Amino acid sequence: MQYSAKRYPAVATNYVQFFFKRRLSLTLSQMRGLFGGSNNLSLLEIGCADGVVMRDIQQKLPAVFSSMTGIDTAKDMIVTAATLDSTHKMKFYVRGEEPIQTYDAVVEVGVVNYADFDTELAYARDHLKAGQVYILSIAGKGSLNARLGDGVGYNNFLSYSEYQTKIRALFDIKKTIPVGLRIPFMWRVPFVARLIQPIAEIMLSRIVPNLFHEKIYILRKR
């Protein structure tokens, strides 16, 4: 539970927590629009960690996915994820040990910048049914967050336009949603930031989308 508690507390007290919770909220909102009313679909989450995202999907969209699979490179996370699944509907695997199959939806948020981008795109494409949806979040090097020095540790760090060139070779981009505008000093007063940050992001997402920490991409396999 330590992974989830640090990133998804009930109330955010810093920018990082706000960002994680906001990204998950926007991802779930897009999934409701895409899959609401459907049932018996299959889901794959790449980089599932302790299963926190899958558990929220199951809670908010309980009738949509009858099959939910999570993969991660960290074995201890997979063990924790399986332990925390009270529904016993989810299956978790160390990446590379998962069964070979295709899915109605693939979700990969907060992961791809730590991996090889081209490999991740190809993996998602190969595990997605034709015409179905890949939800991907990417951090761009032109963001305000990156300009303030937070790009350390990424295996790849390109501009959003460079990422999109690679994406278009394999997927159709149906929608992009900016998330996470790092505003210096804002979170020194958390209760004020919790009110102002979401308003600022709504207002500025159309004006300066490339300054946002990440973009959530809704992609469709051709």
Count of other CB atoms within 10 angstroms of residue 160: 22
221 beta partners: 171
Would you say 177 and 109 are in contact if contact means Cβ atoms under 8 Å apart? Answer: no
Give the whole-angstrom CA distance, residue 97 versus residue 206. 41
Question: Is 3.65.10.10 the CATH number for 2-221?
Answer: no
Please state which of the ranges 138-147, 151-160, 170-179, 199-208 shows the lowest mean pLDDT: 151-160
pTM > 0.85: yes
Q: Which residues have a Cβ under 8 Å from the Cβ of 10 and sit 6 or more positions away?
A: none
Report the share of the chain in percent with pLDDT over 70: 98
Instruction: Give the Cα separation of 200 and 15 in Å (integer).
Output: 13
Tokens (6 digits) for 214 = 């990440």
Q: How many CB atoms lie under 10 A from the CB of residue 114?
A: 14
pLDDT tens, position by position, 53-101: 999 999 999 999 999 999 999 999 999 999 999 888 899 999 999 999 9
Residue with tokens 């930031």: 193
